[in-house]
Structure 1
Amino acid sequence: MRTRVVVGGALVLLAALSGCAAMPAPTPTLPSRVAVELQQLRSDVAARQVEVHLTNGTDAPLTVGEVRIDDPRFDGPSSRAIADRVSTIPAGGTVDVRVQLAAVDCDAPHDGTATVVLELVGDDGTTEVEASAPDPVGFLAPLHARECLQEQLTQAATVDFTGFSASPPGEPASLELTVTPTGSGSATVTGIERTNLIDFAVPGDDEVYPLDVDVSAGDTEPVVIEVPLVPFRCDPHAVQEDKRGTIFDVEIALDGEPGEIELFVGDELRGRILTWVGQWCGFGG
């Protein structure tokens, strides 16, 4: 039998059996010395995933089936990235369960509160418990703000990386950025910031490459910008361990208010760019 409880709260669900008076259901709780928190690794950013970090401080293993995050900032529950998987946390051990985030709900405030629902698996069946989910780094509120800003931007224009041309060592490559107006709004795409792996082939040490693309209501013609790139660093492990080197912060302005969105080049362009960096730096195949 599956029951559900809010840990630390006074809510008790009543089980109703047909033809019988309602009886109080058992009140399972998250086991003592078991802790839950949310994390986001650099490798999770592009895929919009997070880690439910579970710590088992008990003397016995803990088996967890379904894992999901309930948060008013998202349009529905966020569930395991790999469905139907079961995780066993050894006594005194930890496990990170990867969860795929649902789409953001931009009618919700940025400073919402998340809870994690865990399906605990035991010899007598499964029990569902709900626990508060601390976000110690505070990544969820900025993520919600960025994605809602990007959603607002799409009313005026879409911004995408649409091509890449590699270059010989010592010469700049070209990353193609396309701004496609919708004809229904206005915005400015002001600049693009370098990453921990990629810099811009321009004089000086500016971290932002200016774009200054103004979009007005009625515009529909795409604007294509060729952004000149050079590697920011050439140590091999920077490429081999890359997690965010091809995720760019793009600076925009909506209604005169500045902001930033994150823009990933996509898996196909990422592979080509990392190959180019290796060859440009002299350690690629």
Structure 2
Amino acid sequence: MRRPRGSPLPPGVALAGCSFPTAPAPRATTLPGVSVRVVQYRSDIPLRHVQLEVVNGSARTVVVAAASLRGAGWSPAPHWSDDDPAEIRAGTTVDLPAALTTASCEARSPLSSARLRLPDGSTRTVRAEDSHGTLARLHEQACFAQAATSTATIVFQGFRPEGRTAEILLDVRGGPDVRRGLVVEQVLPTTLLSPRSGDETWRVDRRLAASGTVRLPAAPTRCDLHAVAEDKVGTVLPVQVRLADGRKGTIDAVAPKALKDRVLAWVVRACGNT
């Protein structure tokens, strides 16, 4: 008869001849030789993803069902999971895409480690690295964008082809503190779009204290088909702004899928590739 732990034995019951199961040894909470590196590829930028690169420096295969970062300044923590676990053979690395969440801007804690969940449901804590400062940079940008949103958001809203040139329309949509105003200082070119004037950037220097539109005359940056075929960030426009309190930063104005396709088709036509 099974009894609760710690209850006394009834009178007359002897211990002799009784066998008790041995408690299983505790499982290791780490994976020696395994670590996680944070990287971001160009294709991740419009998706707001990073890659959790699991590096298996051990001598055995590791199977991972889920992975997440700890102490990286995002809430909830960026994580990857899949019904089909990732198999990382000894001596190899595997990239696991993780979406960026909401930046915790009040008090950012440094990246400390990563947590890996194995197919049996157990978890392991491993060392995490951000050697290129990717998370720190993204966190700074996200916190600036959060601060700017109370004044306005900037959206890549329209695109008007004009033969070999075009006009880009950025909508500045006022937020609750729009009357404080912000200054759109300049917009940086991309791998696909550049100022029609031939200048290095679109100089705007325009203060907006209400919703409005910023118009950018554009021309193709490059005309080789390889640039179009391999494009990842050509329709992500970096907009440099200054807030009313003097802070400066960059907000990415990302074209939606349908608009991106129009831009790509226009570049091909404008370059005479059709």
Secondary structure at the residue paired with 1:146? helix
The equivalent residue for 2:46 is 46
Unaligned 5+ segments in structure 2 are 7-22
* Structure 1 position 69, deviation (Å): 1.9
The equivalent residue for 1:161 is 156
Secondary structure at the residue paired with 1:275? helix
Q: Rg: which structure is higher?
A: 2
- Say if 2:69 and 2:111, in contact at 8 Å, map to a contact too: no
* Structure 1 position 93, deviation (Å): 2.0
- Say if 2:34 and 2:127, in contact at 8 Å, map to a contact too: no
Task: State the AA in 2 paired with 1:241.
Answer: E
In structure 2, do the counterparts of structure 1 residues 26 and 199 end up closer, same or farther at CA, with 3 Å as the change threshold?
Answer: same
Pairing partner for 1:253 from 205, 217, 242: 242
The equivalent residue for 2:104 is 105
Task: State the AA in 2 paired with 1:163.
Answer: G
The separation in 2 between residues aligned to 1:29 and 1:180, in whole angstroms, is 49
1:87 aligns with 2:86: yes
The equivalent residue for 1:6 is none
**With structure 1 as the length reference, what TM-score do the two structures score?**
0.81
Secondary structure at the residue paired with 2:83? coil
The equivalent residue for 1:187 is 182
- Say if 1:164 and 1:269, in contact at 8 Å, map to a contact too: yes
The separation in 2 between residues aligned to 1:208 and 1:267, in whole angstroms, is 24
The separation in 2 between residues aligned to 1:59 and 1:24, in whole angstroms, is 25
Secondary structure at the residue paired with 2:75? coil
* Structure 1 position 32, deviation (Å): 2.8
**With structure 2 as the length reference, what TM-score do the two structures score?**
0.84
The equivalent residue for 1:197 is 192
Aligned length: 253
The separation in 2 between residues aligned to 1:32 and 1:183, in whole angstroms, is 51
The separation in 2 between residues aligned to 1:280 and 1:31, in whole angstroms, is 54
Unaligned 5+ segments in structure 1 are 1-17
The separation in 2 between residues aligned to 1:241 and 1:45, in whole angstroms, is 14
In structure 2, do the counterparts of structure 1 residues 79 and 35 end up closer, same or farther at CA, with 3 Å as the change threshold?
Answer: closer
1:213 aligns with 2:206: yes
- Say if 1:163 and 1:176, in contact at 8 Å, map to a contact too: yes
Tell me the C-alpha RMSD between the 2 structures: 2.3
- Say if 1:173 and 1:228, in contact at 8 Å, map to a contact too: yes
Task: State the AA in 2 paired with 1:75.
Answer: S
The equivalent residue for 1:266 is 256
The equivalent residue for 1:177 is 170
The equivalent residue for 2:13 is none
The separation in 2 between residues aligned to 1:237 and 1:71, in whole angstroms, is 40
Task: State the AA in 1 paired with 2:158.
Answer: G
The separation in 1 between residues aligned to 2:173 and 2:94, in whole angstroms, is 43
The separation in 2 between residues aligned to 1:263 and 1:114, in whole angstroms, is 31
Secondary structure at the residue paired with 1:166? strand
* Structure 1 position 262, deviation (Å): 2.0
The equivalent residue for 2:11 is none
User: Which moves more between the two structures, 55-64 or 266-275?
Assistant: 55-64
Identical positions, percent: 30
Task: State the AA in 2 paired with 1:211.
Answer: V
The separation in 2 between residues aligned to 1:126 and 1:180, in whole angstroms, is 46
